[in-house]
């Protein structure tokens, strides 16, 4: 979950404007979007509207799946990229790109002395620095960056709170050091380390990290009357101020032939996960972890390979739902509606899902098409999924489902990691060296679980309450 | 009793309205029995002559365009400290 900021709102605005142009057959107007968002005589966020417009152009390119290296001619208009992408069904594997023009090259000085420094006689900052990194110049402390090791002692010692910590938000947020400065001082994502948690995209206050959007290809498929099926993640239920039935209805109005709740697939995940856990622990394995958060699976694959044997081999609800949907609607285009970008990566790897559309993109699409979610009291579409499967949207949901499924809990001792930060990664790394006092570990990369995903619209606590209320209202019972 | 009506029409909702629902956790307790927060369908300010910047929120009968939690709280303070 991110705090609301203008970078997020601008992204939503751009998305809906792009989709609207596509729906109305006006792609040629794409080049106007930067001008519409930063009109003449309006306010600029950066030095001037021209810089803002240039940044917007590159952000739009990023959304369309092009980055600076695709720009062979700076004069190529935006609509050409849009058209090329649609005509060639161009999808790239790259999910995230950093827009260099937007990246502010945040100074990684870390500890900085501000002018609150009064140049006191005590000079505790200088005396307590073990690296001799502090000097005084014109009555104020300065930190020698070459010597400073960012221990933070000077900050603690200063009685005036004159020393501040200046973070690089994206680097700070990344749990696995996958984003770093390149030679030009701009941030760069190392795909071989990236676990697609999306934390950097939320953290960057300049909105410089752009996620490729596939929503346009889905819109095009529907325009061409291709049979298209929507698979919606359980977390969608809390995303709009209306009940799930109405949200599903809105997706049908967008032109989908059918809408399937991924909570149905979660039923299978629960059964398989429970059986696998029973089998493995009976055979002496000390614990098993969940596997439905793709970002966590990536973390293990790329950074904690020792933990791999402990990760459940059960597939995610998205996978099982897609299998079921393929049987029911052979040949249809499968679109997963997702709270996060890690699912985009999972879908790319898995091959069952054709496109992933984020909740945010869904909102932008509804806006572009002028769809209002109704006020009526429709229950969820097919109502095949039980309460426990719907709760997969929340942290602790998988554990809850597995626990309820197992007869008398079967000795399940669960532990939850609710949100992956640097700290959590460290403790996961240490896990293989000791015998923990739990035997079932649920890991969610996002705090609050899927309702806290980087592409959600509603605040997690609001979404949680809405999902819980809805289950009461429609009296959705436990399935198992 | 003052009603806070947060526009949940598609435009307002995705352009910041969704975040305003968090106001319940930010209001001081003194408002507990004075305020009711509700969502509404499009309030009708997103188009036409009366067009306002999203998100729109009504505090009682008064419209707050381009609303933020802070703006709403300030408005409430004015209402209740008169
Ligand atoms: S969407 Fe809020 S006024 Fe129309």
Per-residue pLDDT of A263-274, as tens digits, reads 999 999 999 999
The answer for residues whose C-beta is within 8 angstroms of residue A71's C-beta and 6 or more apart is A61
**pLDDT band at residue A78 under the 50/70/90 scheme:** very high
Q: What are the chain A neighbours of B13 within 8 Å (beta carbons)?
A: 240-241, 363, 457
Q: Give A97 Cα–ligand 1 centroid separation in angstroms.
A: 33
Best of B5, B14, B48, B54 for a ligand 1 pocket test (most atoms within 8 Å of beta carbon): B54
* ipTM score for this prediction: 0.93
Task: Pick the range with the lowest mean pLDDT from A102-116, A178-192, A244-258.
Answer: A102-116
Do B65 and B12 contact (CB within 8 A), yes or no? no
Burial of A330 by CB count in 10 Å (0-12 exposed, 13-18 middle, 19+ buried)?
exposed
Is residue A108 packed enough to be buried (19+ CB in 10 Å), middle (13-18) or exposed (0-12)? middle
Q: Please tell me the total number of residues recorded for chain B in this structure.
A: 82
8 A C-beta contact, residue A49 and residue A40: yes
In this predicted structure, what is the pLDDT of residue A110? Answer: 81
Looking at residue A455, its pLDDT comes to 96
Average pLDDT over residues A384-409: 90
Hey, how many other C-beta atoms are within 10 angstroms of the C-beta on A72?
Answer: 6
Q: Identify the band that residue B82 occupies on the pLDDT scale cut at 50, 70 and 90.
A: low
Residue B70 predicted with pLDDT over 70: yes
- Note whether A288 and A280 are within 8 A (CB): yes
| Strand-pair partners of A333 | A228
Question: Does the Cβ of B42 fall within 6 Å of ligand 1?
Answer: yes
CA A315 vs CA A101, A292, A346: distances in Å: 39, 7, 11
Q: What's the pTM value of the predicted model, to 2 decimals?
A: 0.92
The answer to whether A446 and A419 are in contact (CB under 8 A) is yes
Q: How far is the CA of B7 from the centre of ligand 1 (A)?
A: 6
Percent of chain A topping pLDDT 90:
80
Residues of chain A neighbouring B43 (CB-CB closer than 8 A): none
Neighboring chain A residues of B8 at a CB cutoff of 8 Å: 240-242, 373
Half-sphere exposure of B42 (CA within 13 A, CB side): 18
Token pair of A333, please? 């285009």
Provide the mean pLDDT of chain A: 92
Mean pLDDT of A440-453: 97
How far, in Å, CA of A8 to CA of A41, rounded?
Answer: 23
Q: Say yes or no to pLDDT of A374 above 80.
A: no
pLDDT band (50, 70, 90) for residue A383: low
What was the pLDDT predicted at A477? 57
- Percent of chain B's residues with pLDDT above 90: 73
CATH code of A6-105+170-213, in short, is 3.30.70.20
Residue A163: what pLDDT?
Answer: 95
- Asked if residue A81 lies in contact with residue A64, where contact means CB atoms within 8 angstroms, the answer is yes
pLDDT (average), residues A174-187: 93
The radius of gyration of chain A from alpha carbons, rounded to an integer in Å, stands at 25
Identify whether the C-beta of residue A416 lies closer than 8 Å to the C-beta of residue A446. Answer: no
Class in CATH terms, A110-166? alpha beta
Q: Is the pLDDT of residue A295 over 50?
A: yes
Residue A420, C-beta contacts closer than 8 angstroms, at least 6 positions apart? A175, A197, A295, A296, A299, A443, A444, A445, A446
DSSP string, A268-334: HHHHHHHHHHHHHHHTT-S-EE----HHHHHHHHHH-GGGGGGB--PPPHHHHHHHHHHHHSTTPEE
Q: Is the pLDDT of residue A1 over 50?
A: no
Asked which of A212-216, A224-228, A258-262, A474-478 is least confident by mean pLDDT, the reply is A474-478
Residue A474 has pLDDT above 70, yes or no: no
Distance between CA atoms of residues A338 and A352, nearest Å: 15
- Of A175-184, A278-287, A432-441, least confident by mean pLDDT is A432-441
For residues A131-151, average pLDDT: 92
Query: What DSSP state is assigned to residue A64?
Result: T
Question: What integer pLDDT is reported at residue A429 of this predicted model?
Answer: 94
The answer, yes or no, to whether residue A473 has pLDDT greater than 80, is: no
Closest residue of chain B to A361, computed from CA coordinates: B14
Contacts of residue A425, defined as CB under 8 A and 6 or more positions apart, other chains included, come to: A175, A176, A299, A303, A304
* A20-60 per-position pLDDT tens digit: 999 999 999 999 999 999 999 888 888 899 999 999 999 99
Closest Cα in chain B to A360: B14
Question: Could you tell me if A368 and A16 are in contact, meaning their C-beta atoms sit under 8 angstroms apart?
Answer: yes
Task: Kindly report the number of other CB atoms within 10 A of residue A247's CB atom.
Answer: 25
Beta bridge partners of A164: A112
- What does the alpha-carbon distance between residue A54 and residue A60 come to, in Å, rounded to a whole number? 10
Range(s) of chain A covered by CATH 3.30.70.20: 6-105+170-213, 110-166
């Amino acid at each position: 979950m991110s705090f609301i900021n203008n970078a997020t709102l601008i992204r939503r605005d751009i998305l809906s404007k792009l989709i609207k142009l596509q729906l109305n057959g006006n792609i040629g107007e794409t080049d106007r979007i930067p001008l519409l968002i930063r009109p003449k005589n309006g306010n600029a966020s950066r030095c001037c509207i021209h810089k803002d417009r240039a940044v917007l152009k590159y952000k739009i390119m990023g959304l369309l799946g092009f980055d600076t290296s695709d720009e062979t001619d700076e004069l190529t208009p935006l609509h050409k990229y849009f058209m090329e992408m649609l005509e060639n069904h161009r999808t790239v594997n790259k999910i995230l790109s950093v827009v260099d023009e937007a990246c502010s090259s945040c100074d990684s000085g870390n500890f900085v002395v501000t002018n609150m420094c009064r140049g006191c006689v005590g000079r505790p900052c200088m005396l307590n620095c073990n690296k001799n990194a502090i000097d005084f110049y014109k009555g104020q402390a300065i930190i020698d960056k070459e010597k400073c090791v960012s221990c933070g002692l000077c900050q603690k010692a200063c009685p005036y709170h004159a020393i501040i910590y200046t973070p690089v938000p994206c680097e700070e947020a990344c749990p696995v050091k996958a984003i770093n400065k390149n030679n030009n001082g701009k941030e760069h994502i190392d795909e071989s380390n990236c676990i697609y948690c999306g934390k950097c995209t939320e953290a960057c206050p300049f909105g410089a990290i752009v996620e490729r959007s596939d929503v346009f290809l889905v819109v095009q498929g529907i325009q061409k009357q291709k049979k298209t099926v929507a698979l919606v993640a359980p977390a969608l239920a809390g995303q709009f101020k209306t009940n799930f039935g109405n949200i599903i209805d809105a997706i049908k109005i967008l032109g989908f032939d059918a809408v399937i709740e991924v909570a149905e697939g979660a039923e299978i995940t629960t059964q398989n996960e429970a059986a696998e856990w029973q089998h493995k622990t009976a055979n002496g394995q000390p614990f098993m972890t969940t596997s439905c958060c793709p970002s966590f699976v990536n973390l293990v694959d790329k950074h904690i390979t020792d933990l791999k044997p402990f990760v459940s081999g059960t597939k995610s609800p998205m996978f099982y739902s897609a299998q079921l949907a393929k049987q029911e609607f052979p040949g249809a285009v499968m679109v997963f509606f997702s709270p996060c970008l890690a699912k985009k990566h999972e879908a790319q790897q898995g091959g069952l899902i054709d496109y992933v559309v984020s909740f945010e993109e869904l909102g932008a699409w509804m806006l572009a098409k002028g769809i209002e979610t109704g006020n009526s009291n429709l229950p969820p579409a097919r109502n095949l999924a039980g309460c426990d499967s719907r709760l997969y949207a929340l942290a602790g949901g998988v554990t809850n489902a597995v626990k309820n499924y197992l007869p008398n809990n079967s000795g399940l001792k669960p532990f939850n990691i609710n949100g992956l930060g640097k700290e959590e990664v460290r403790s996961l790394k240490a896990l293989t060296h000791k015998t923990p006092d739990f035997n079932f570990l649920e890991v969610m990369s996002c705090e609050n679980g899927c309702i806290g995903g980087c592409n959600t619209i509603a605040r997690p606590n609001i979404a949680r309450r809405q999902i819980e209320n809805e289950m009461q209202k429609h009296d959705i019972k436990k399935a198992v | 009793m003052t009603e806070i009506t947060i526009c949940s029409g598609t435009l307002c909702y995705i352009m910041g309205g969704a975040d305003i629902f968090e106001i319940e956790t930010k209001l001081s307790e003194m408002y507990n029995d004075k305020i009711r927060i509700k969502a509404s369908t499009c309030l009708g300010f997103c188009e036409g002559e009366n067009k306002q910047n999203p998100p729109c929120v009504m505090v009682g009968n008064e419209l707050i365009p381009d609303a933020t939690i802070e703006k709403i709280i300030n408005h409430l303070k004015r209402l209740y400290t008169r």
